[in-house]
Amino acid sequence: VGQTVKVGSKKEGGHDQGIAVANDRSITVGNDQTVRVKNDRVVNISHDEGLYVKNDRKVTVEGKQEQSTTGDHISLVKGTHSLEVKGDLARKVSGSQGIKVEGDIVLESSSRISLKAGSSFVVIHAGGVDIMGPVINLNGGGSAGTPVGTLLPEGLEALAEYNIQFHFTDDDGIPYGNTRYIAFFEDGAQRRGVTDADGNTENFNCDKEQKIRVRLLHQSIDMIEGGVNE
């Protein structure tokens, strides 16, 4: 059975919707999901973000795209990396730049190619090759440098298909907050943790359905709760 939720009928104040979740939130969509935002969209994440796409991913920006990274920016392309720039391409590196190629390097320009270091330079153009420097050594002097090494990114894994969270309260409905526990998995694994202030354990994620027993470690109780993650 389908469901349609409509909030308000006008584009003005009072026809808005707000959602507040005090702890974790999990959404599972069995098929496609489509989101349309007819104006701006802002996402603010106070900690880390992970994105795992099992198949292809396409991004189209009809306007300008800006990106700022305070720390390292690491990319790993296991296939072909193709870049086409129809305007200028400018790069400024404050440190060293290293390029290491196992095959050929081909630079082709319809105008000229210039290499400059200090007051010395080499210019290749249709009319010839210009070399300028205080001293020009052929087959003698100097040494080749070493390119800067690359960094490898940390891989992301797909989200687990099954997950469950336990909530513990006493007979009066008072949560067992900040209480140590041990989770026993059907495959023999164990995990220790502490409930939050509302008596909730962490979210347990598994790739397959299995029973999980949780034992609270409290001086006044010795209880075991069980469940099947789904």
The CATH number assigned to the domain holding 206 equals 2.60.40
CB atoms within 10 A of CB 5: 5
Give the separation between CA 116 and CA 127, rounded to whole angstroms: 19
pLDDT in tens, 155-167: 666 666 677 889 9
Give the separation between CA 228 and CA 121, rounded to whole angstroms: 71
pTM: 0.58
Please report whether residue 187 resides in a domain: yes
Question: What's the total number of domains in the chain?
Answer: 1
Please report whether residue 61 resides in a domain: no
**Enclosing domain of residue 209:** 162-228
Q: Which two tokens stand for residue 193?
A: 């943790």
Rg for the chain, CA atoms, rounded: 30
Please report whether residue 65 resides in a domain: no
Please report whether residue 27 resides in a domain: no
Task: State mean pLDDT over 187-195.
Answer: 88
Which residue blocks in 19-128 are alpha helix, DSSP H? none
Q: Which of 23-32, 51-60, 94-103 has the lowest mean pLDDT?
A: 23-32
Please report whether residue 172 resides in a domain: yes
Please report whether residue 88 resides in a domain: no
